[in-house]
Chain A
């Protein structure tokens, strides 16, 4: 079994191969890259390679058949510690790091990694969703990161450097994961059966911006329909914000009864808007516009109408990014959509987001 199933990160792989071969593998890595570009898969593959008992780690080529490889794949390997955010939590609970109340300091990642290896090789800990470490959680890790136990490798997966505490950043080797190329995403979409036709997959890949996850989300035709409604409306500064806010809220509500799918959908809508303003800003500065046909056409149409110039597009873009953070901070969705739309409408005309009365 080779690295074939991991696409598009050959440079990172080569880096690790050299480090392991020279015996200079660091103990803490922070994998940074957009969501769903294969960071987790890469980390697991690396763990498999380091723990494989047939092929030497320096080959970085797990055999896939030995007990160790089988157990890494089943996530049951005793020297592999996996921590991820539980589905029903917004943060990684500290229990997973230092044990729950009764077993404080006697369980969890920080404890487990101080035990000597079970199978004699290395110990690999992977913290998925390191973005969701809260301050307490991140602080729990500091001691372990500062004095990593011998023969241990810790991998934190994150979407952005800014989402990690400086104390964590400074203690880890940062490995950047580039967005996947559209061709790779399109091929993966077909392979995973999300869409049947390569043509359609290419369209989704274009919208995916290098993230497979994003491409899969926009595979939902309803979303693309809404985007086709949204962009022309945003293209007019001072658009009537109340009806569009109402439509957006209704569209978001259709995502489901629970809050998480609604939030996810609203974030996507905000990202659509952000992309539009980003390209519009480029166009107003006289730069080339990138994107799919719909986006390019709508930007072209909006350029003469945005008389306030690139500042207006920049203000709108900033407001979209801010709104996205507000969604993640658990703002009330209906109120947020109203405020966001109202601000976009005024900022498009004025060139800045007016202060609230």
Chain B
């Protein structure tokens, strides 16, 4: 293999790929980036077995096609330290030779066939949606995923692909976050009913990070074992999690039985933060009382003290009370803008609270027992 490339463009792609490669791994070959050079172009791949990335690199002249693995640490340093505009890589028997104008490095190399190839995006059936929508879907659900318990299926985000929308759901058993966004199914793509598309939280984080240009269109294809997301020149591959996701539709409370309280994120969050000042690790419950045009948040912790915060609201009906974990409520406020309006649907102190916005975002929090 023999290629010449533009150092800056190459470095940019290399850094993106390097973010996926694990810094420590029982499989040392994963601490490399694989480069496939063909007549039609060059592709970089990195994977940690759970998530993989594939990037088409521009500015590469391929003299002799072939594959090579480049050690992330050493080769990354070469890209950083050498200031030449162009560099040349040759793979020979003895190793990888990297040549600049006045510098030359020989790196020992491993067999590129031992590197697990990252799947390419060759699907003809997929969903198309805007990067902005996907980013929002991930941001507003990811925090509710449970990546610390042994219930691995809850450590991911469930994606449901329908004809005109994509729905993301995450839950840890105590709260559930669900958001739908507009999308277009190409050639009838949809998640098959028998396989659940549960994407690990870490993969979702990576996809969210990769969505830098919000105006772009993203293609997403769910397959039986993995999901592929194509963003510009990069394809992100993520293995799915085995297991069953809870039937989340059964968890969403009925809105018609509940009292609808209209609120704005900013003041509600400010009041929550004040009320939570006296909360502790053992006592996280905040008592919420809505009614008669005001909302009262109060909290009592034996060894710390008490808080009582009031703010005016539009709701003027019968009073309704509920106790919720302040961190769960705060998580909802954190992903929204301060000016955003939302509806809090409350039935009684023993039923789940439903936070909804008008852009198809629902967040369910299970209440805490009142008599503590």
Contacts and interface: CB of A to CB of B under 8 A. Distances in A.
A105 B241 contact: no
Contacts of B147: 105-106
Given A114-B242, A116-B239, A150-B242, A106 B225 contact: no
B33 to A, nearest CB: 14
Interface string B140-154: 000000011110110
Interface of A: 67, 70-71, 74-78, 82-83, 96, 98, 104-106, 110-112, 114-120, 143, 149-150
Contact of A67 (B27, B113, B202): B113
Given A74-B111, A150-B242, 10 more contacts: A67-B113, A70-B113, A104-B148, A106-B147, A112-B50, A114-B242, A114-B243, A115-B242, A117-B225, A118-B239
A106 to B, nearest CB: 5
B202 A77 contact: no
A77 B150 contact: no
Contacts of A67: 113, 117
Contact of B202 (A96, A98, A106): A106
A111 B152 contact: yes
A215 to B, nearest CB: 30
Nearest to A68: B116
Contacts of A82: 26
B240 interface: yes
Given A67-B113, A106-B155, A116 B149 contact: no
B198 to A, nearest CB: 9
B21 interface: no
Interface of B: 26-27, 29-30, 47, 49-50, 111, 113-117, 147-150, 152-153, 155, 200, 202, 224-226, 239-243
Contact of A116 (B26, B111, B117, B242): B242
Contacts of B155: 105-106
Contacts of B149: 105
A149 B198 CA distance: 14
A71 B69 CA distance: 14
Contacts of A150: 242
Contacts of B113: 67, 70-71
Contact of B116 (A78, A106, A110, A112): A78
B68 to A, nearest CB: 16
A83 B29 CA distance: 16
The list of the 8 closest CB pairs from A to B, nearest first, reads A74-B114, A116-B225, A114-B152, A149-B242, A115-B239, A78-B116, A116-B240, A76-B29
B116 A105 contact: no
B289 to A, nearest CB: 37
- B interface, over-half SS: loop
Contacts of B117: 67
29 contacts: A70-B111, A70-B113, A74-B29, A74-B111, A76-B30, A76-B114, A76-B116, A78-B47, A78-B116, A105-B147, A105-B148, A105-B150, A106-B148, A110-B150, A111-B152, A112-B50, A114-B152, A114-B153, A115-B49, A115-B50, A115-B239, A115-B241, A116-B224, A117-B239, A118-B116, A119-B116, A120-B225, A149-B243, A150-B242
A149 B242 CA distance: 7
Contacts of B153: 114
B29 to A, nearest CB: 5
A116 B226 contact: yes
A118 B116 CA distance: 9
B241 A114 contact: yes
B109 to A, nearest CB: 13
Contacts of B242: 114-116, 149-150
A75 B111 CA distance: 12
Contacts of B243: 114, 149
A109 B294 CA distance: 52
Contacts of A149: 242-243
A112 B241 CA distance: 9
Contacts of A119: 116
B310 to A, nearest CB: 41
A108 to B, nearest CB: 10
B64 to A, nearest CB: 21
A229 B27 CA distance: 46
A72 B29 CA distance: 13
B222 to A, nearest CB: 11
B22 to A, nearest CB: 9
A77 B26 CA distance: 11
A150 B243 CA distance: 9
A112 B114 contact: no
A82 B239 CA distance: 19
Given A105-B147, A115-B50, A118-B239, A77 B116 contact: yes
